[in-house]
Amino acid sequence: MKLHRKPIPVKEAVSKVMERMKKNSHERVNLENSHNRYLGEDITASHPIPPFDKSPYDGFALHSTDTIGLGRGQAEEFRVIEQIGAGHRASRPLKKGEAVRIMTGAEIPEGADCVAMFEICQAYEKNGQSYMSLKRELKPGQNVIHQGSETKKGTVLVQSGTKINPGIKALLATFGYDQVKVQRKPKVGIFATGTELLDVDESLEPGKIRNSNAYMITAQVERAGAEAVYLGKLKDDFSTCFEAVSKAAAEMDILITTGGVSVGDFDLMPDIYKELGAEVLFNKIAMRPGSVTTVAEVEGKLLFGLSGNPSACYVGFELFTFPIIQGFLANPFPFRRRTKAYLNKDFPKANPFMRFVRGKVTMRDGKIFASPAGIDKSAVVTSLAETDAFIVLPGGTKGFKLGDMVEVILIEDSGKQEAFH
Amino acid sequence: MKLHRKPIPVKEAVSKVMERMKKNSHERVNLENSHNRYLGEDITASHPIPPFDKSPYDGFALHSTDTIGLGRGQAEEFRVIEQIGAGHRASRPLKKGEAVRIMTGAEIPEGADCVAMFEICQAYEKNGQSYMSLKRELKPGQNVIHQGSETKKGTVLVQSGTKINPGIKALLATFGYDQVKVQRKPKVGIFATGTELLDVDESLEPGKIRNSNAYMITAQVERAGAEAVYLGKLKDDFSTCFEAVSKAAAEMDILITTGGVSVGDFDLMPDIYKELGAEVLFNKIAMRPGSVTTVAEVEGKLLFGLSGNPSACYVGFELFTFPIIQGFLANPFPFRRRTKAYLNKDFPKANPFMRFVRGKVTMRDGKIFASPAGIDKSAVVTSLAETDAFIVLPGGTKGFKLGDMVEVILIEDSGKQEAFH
C-alpha cells in the first residue's frame, strides 16, 4: 500500500494534532516533589500577606501619640518593657510611655502603631530597667507593614497549568499547600523501528548503526514534562510490529515510533495504521526535515510516527508532540517561545518547503541572533547537541543572508556566559 | 558580637567564592539516567560517521562505469539481483550490468559506487527476474554518503562538564556509551533558621509564618543540577544551631542556611561562624536585596548564610551558590547567561547600591525587553513566581526609564507563546 501523499502546511498539521487535545487527570504529590510539575489547581492566598502587622526593621514599637511634639531638643523617655523577635509576640499590650524592642518581621504589639528604627533611638539602662529616648515625631503606621497590604486573602496568585518553579514552590509553602494537586504526567511510549538498529551496548556490525533516536526522544519527552516509557526496538517485521504497536497504543497516553514512515519497501508504519483502523491525520507535511512525519489516532490515542532520521525525528517531536504533551499538562501556553532574531551567518540553501534549521541563539546589545548549528558537514552529528532553537525559514524562499531577520523557536536555554563583570 | 561590616562589591564577592572552587568526583550512570547530568569525560567518536558508505535515498545501487554514455534516448538495462534495507547487507558483490534495490540508510554494496533514485529508473519484471532501466549517466560517488564524511573516528564531539541534553544523549547512544561518566552531584544541605517558622502543614499562629525559603532553595538547588538535602528548621537557640550546623558542614559538600545573618538580637549565624572557627569570606555586599549575605568556609566546606527575606534569599543563591555548584559540576561556563535588554517599564527608584530587580524577559522583533516582576506592592509575593531574570542596576544610579538599556541575568526560560502562526 503506497498512498499518494498530499503535503499539508505545518500550521495545519499542528492544528490537526491540537484538535485532539485531551484533558489529563490529576494527582497529589508532596510539596517536596512538586518541582517542575504542572499545577492542577490555581494557587489562592489562604491568608493575607503579611498575615499580621509587622515591623520591616529592627527598632522600638510604640504609639505615635506618645511622640507628638518631639523634636527641636524635645526628647521623650520610653520604658522598654520587653523584646520580641520574629515568631514571638509581646506578652501584654503597651501602655502610655512604653515601648517594645522589636526585630525585623516580628508582629507589632497591641497598643503600638509605629516603629522607631534603632538608628534614631538612644537605649540605656537605669536601675536594671531598660529605657529608650526618642527625639522625633512618628506618624501612625510609620514603619509598619500592614496585614494584607501585599496580598488580600482569596487572591488567585498562580493559574492552574503553570509549571512549578522555585518561586511558585515558595508560594505553595507560604499558603500551606503541603500536598499539591498537579497534572498527572502523560505516559509516552517509545518504539524505535528498524532492523538496522543495534543496542547501545552492542558492537558495531557491518551495515548497522546503534539506536540513538530512542534515547534522544526519551530525553525530549522528559524535558517536555511527561513520563517516557521506552518500549524497545522493533525489527522490520509486520506482525511483530503490529502486535507491539497495538498493545502499546492501548496502554499509553501517547505512542511514538521512530522510523518506518517513509515509502521504502521496509517502511511498515503506514500498513500498521491501516490494519489498526487508525485515522491518519496527515502523513506528509510541507517542511524539511521531517516531511514524512505521520500522526494517526486510534481509539482516542495519538500515534506519532516520527522519521528515523535523527534531525527529522527531533524536529517532528518538538513541533507536533511537545505541544500536545503541554495540552495534557493543561499548560495554557502549549507552544515554545517564538521570536524574531537576526541571522548570524549566511544560509545560502533555497527553501522549496518551510525549513526548520537546527540553530543556536546568542544575545548581544539587547538583540537576538541565531546561527545554524552544524551547517558544516563535519558537524552533522553534533548539530543536535548544540541546538537550542529552530530557525524557521518559510517555504518558497531563496537563501538568507547574515543580518536578515528570521523567526526562531526557542528549544532550551543552554547559554554560555564567560564571567561576572 | 556585632562586627563592623564593610560592604564589598558584588563582583569581588563572587570572585572570593569562586576561588574556593573544588573539583568534584565522578560516577557512572546508565545512559537512560544521564539526562540533565554533567559529562565527566569528553565524548569522542568511537567510529567514523557514517560507519560505512550509505545511500541517502531509496533507489538502485550500481557502478557508474555501467552508465557511461547514457542519455539522449540511450537506456541501459540492469539485472536487479536483490534488495537490501537499512541494517542488511548485499549477499555478494555486484557484477557488471547488475544493480541492487537499496533503501535509505543501507550500505552501498561492494561493486557499486553510486545510487540512482527510484524517480529516474524504470523497474519491471521479465520471466520472474527483476530488471531496471536507466537513461542517465551517473558519476562515481553520486548519491553516496561516504564513510567518515560527517565525522572522523577519534574526533572530540562534546566537552567534559557539558550538561547532557537530548541531542547529546543521542550522541552518547550513537557511540556506544551505555554507561556514562558524569560529575557526581554535590550534596547541598539546607537549614531554615528562625523561631517564627511554621511547617507547611501547620496552621498559622499569631506572629508566625510558614517556612517557604527551604522549599524554594531546594528547587533552586535542583535546578542548578545539585542534590538538595533539606535538613529541617532551626529555632533561634545557639547551642542547637551550632550542633546542627557543625554536623551538617562535615557531611555535606555545601551548606546553606536561610535567615539569622543580619544584626538583629536573634541573628545567631555570625556567632556560629566564630565558634566554628570558620573563615568569613564576606558578610556584607554592596547590593540590594541580600546585602547581609554571608559566605564562610570551615574545613574546606563553604557555608552560605542567605537572608531570611525570600527575595534576598533567592538572589543570594543565584549570584553566589549557583556558580559554585556549576564549578563542582565542572561546567566550563559556570555563570548564567547575561545580556543587555531594553527596560520595558520605568523603574523610578534610585539605586544607592547595585540592585538586582526580579524581572521578566520578553522578546519582540529581534530585541530583548525586561520588566520588573511585581513592582506593585500587591505582587510582592508573586514576583518570584514570575521571575525569569534579574535586571542589574548599577549602584550610584538614579531611576531608569522605559527604553533604557540595562543588563539582565537570565534565570529560566518560562516564555509564553500564544499559538503557532
Per-residue confidence in pLDDT tens, chain A, 421 aa = 445 688 999 999 999 999 999 888 999 999 999 999 999 999 999 999 999 999 988 999 999 999 999 988 899 999 999 999 887 899 999 999 999 999 988 999 999 999 999 999 999 999 999 999 999 999 999 999 999 988 899 999 999 999 999 999 999 999 999 999 999 999 999 999 988 899 999 999 888 889 999 999 999 999 999 999 999 999 888 999 999 999 999 999 999 999 988 766 678 999 999 999 999 999 999 999 999 999 999 999 999 999 988 999 999 999 999 999 999 999 999 999 899 999 999 999 999 999 999 999 999 999 999 999 876 554 567 789 989 999 999 999 999 999 999 999 999 854 555 444 4
Other Cβ atoms within 10 Å of A247 Cβ, number: 12
**Cβ within 8 Å, pair B417-A230:** no
Q: How far apart are CA A275 and CA A265, in angstroms?
A: 17
B201 in contact with chain A, both atoms CB, cutoff 8 A: yes
Residue A183: φ, ψ to 5°:
-70, 135
Q: Which of B197, B417, B421 would you mutate first to test chain A, the one with the most A CBs within 10 A? A: B417
How close is the nearest chain A Cα to the Cα of B130, in Å? 15
Q: Which of B52, B82, B155, B216 would you mutate first to test chain A, the one with the most A CBs within 10 A? A: B216
Name the amino acid, one letter, at B117. Answer: M
pLDDT of residue B418: 43
| DSSP character string of B228-245 | EEEEEEE-S-HHHHHHHH
A82 in contact with chain B, both atoms CB, cutoff 8 A: no
Cell of B42: 569528553
Percent share of chain B, pLDDT over 70: 94
The beta-carbon neighbor of B195 closest among A85, A387, A421 is A85
Angle at B160 between CA B158 and CA B164, to 5 degrees: 65
Q: How far apart are CA A373 and CA B356, in angstroms?
A: 33
With 50 as the cut, is the pLDDT of residue B344 above it? Answer: yes
Q: Which residue, chain included where needed, has cell 497495538?
A: A246
How close is the nearest chain A Cα to the Cα of B48, in Å? 11
**Cβ within 8 Å, pair A264-B212:** no
What residues contact residue A13 under an 8 Å CB cut-off, 6+ apart?
A: A281, A282, A285, A293, A295, A319, A320
Which class in CATH covers the domain with range A28-49+151-183? alpha beta
Which residues, in sequence order, are bridge partners of residue A114? A62
How close is the nearest chain B Cα to the Cα of A293, in Å? 16
A37 in contact with chain B, both atoms CB, cutoff 8 A: no
Residue B375: φ, ψ to 5°:
-75, -25
Instruction: Give B384's contacts in chain A (Cβ within 8 Å).
Output: 166-167, 170-171
CB B222 within 8 A of CB B228: yes
Cell of A287: 517542511
The beta-carbon neighbor of B201 closest among A86, A178, A204 is A178
Nearest CA in chain A to B203: A176
Which class in CATH covers the domain with range B338-410? mainly beta
Cell of A316: 517532528
CA-wise closest residue to A41 among A199, A181, A225? A181
Give the CATH number of domain B27-49+151-183; options: 2.160.20.10, 1.20.58.2030, 3.90.105.10, 3.30.360.10. Answer: 3.90.105.10
Say how far residue B372 (Cα) sits from the centre of its chain: 25
Confidence class for position B150, pLDDT limits 50, 70, 90: confident
More confident residue, B15 or B71: B15
Q: Considering the domain A59-134 in this protein, what is its CATH number?
A: 2.170.190.11
A360 in contact with chain B, both atoms CB, cutoff 8 A: no
B122-135 b/e (C-beta count within 10 Å ≥ 16 → b):
eeeeeeeebebebb
How close is the nearest chain A Cα to the Cα of B156, in Å? 10
How close is the nearest chain B Cα to the Cα of A404, in Å? 10
pLDDT in tens, B268-322: 899 999 999 999 999 999 999 999 999 999 999 999 999 988 999 999 999 999 9
pLDDT in tens, B77-125: 999 999 998 878 999 999 999 999 999 889 999 999 999 999 999 999 9
Instruction: Give B374's contacts in chain A (Cβ within 8 Å).
Output: none
pLDDT in tens, B244-263: 999 999 999 999 999 988 76
Domain ranges (residues) in chain A? 10-25+184-328, 28-49+151-183, 59-134, 338-410
CA-wise closest residue to B98 among B143, B60, B71? B60
Kindly give the pairing relationship between strand B354-364 and strand B287-288.
parallel
**Cβ within 8 Å, pair B166-A264:** no
Name the amino acid, one letter, at A104. Answer: T
A405 in contact with chain B, both atoms CB, cutoff 8 A: yes
Name the amino acid, one letter, at B154. Answer: G
CA-wise closest residue to B181 among B39, B43, B330? B39
Q: Which residue, chain included where needed, has cell 545580556?
A: B339
CA distances from B175 to A1, A15, A211, A221, A358 (A): 36, 37, 10, 22, 21
Instruction: Give B421's contacts in chain A (Cβ within 8 Å).
Output: 11
B408 in contact with chain A, both atoms CB, cutoff 8 A: no
Q: How far apart are CA A48 and CA A155, in angstroms?
A: 9
A-proximal residues of B, 108-147, CB under 8 Å? none
pLDDT in tens, A226-274: 999 999 999 888 999 999 999 999 999 999 999 988 766 678 999 999 9
Instruction: Give B420's contacts in chain A (Cβ within 8 Å).
Output: 10-11, 14-15, 323, 335
CA distances from B178 to B119, B169, B171 (A): 40, 10, 11
B316 in contact with chain A, both atoms CB, cutoff 8 A: no
* CA B232, B235, B236, B237 torsion-angle sign: negative
CB-based burial label for B234 (10 Å; 0-12, 13-18, 19+): buried
Instruction: Give B175's contacts in chain A (Cβ within 8 Å).
Output: 210
CA-wise closest residue to B317 among B408, B195, B215, B167? B215
CB B390 within 8 A of CB B359: yes
pLDDT of residue B419: 44
Average pLDDT over residues B193-211: 91
Find the distance separating the first CA and the last CA of chain B, reported in whole Å: 63
pLDDT of residue B4: 65
**Cβ within 8 Å, pair B209-A264:** no
Angle at B105 between CA B102 and CA B109, to 5 degrees: 50
The beta-carbon neighbor of A381 closest among B171, B216, B223 is B171
CATH domain B10-25+185-328 topology: Molybdenum Cofactor Biosythetic Enzyme; Chain A (3.40.980)
Give the CATH number of domain A10-25+184-328; options: 3.40.190.10, 3.40.980.10, 2.60.40.10, 1.10.1530.10. Answer: 3.40.980.10
CA distances from A312 to A257, A302, A317, A397 (A): 13, 19, 8, 20
Mean confidence (pLDDT) of chain B = 92
Q: How far apart are CA A102 and CA A90, in angstroms?
A: 9
Residue B9: φ, ψ to 5°:
-65, 155
B177 in contact with chain A, both atoms CB, cutoff 8 A: yes
Q: How far apart are CA A62 and CA A81, in angstroms?
A: 11
CB A24 within 8 A of CB A328: yes
Instruction: Give A344's contacts in chain B (Cβ within 8 Å).
Output: none
pLDDT of residue A207: 83
With 70 as the cut, is the pLDDT of residue B377 above it? Answer: no
pLDDT of residue A6: 87
Tell me if the bond preceding A206 is cis, omega within 30° of 0: no
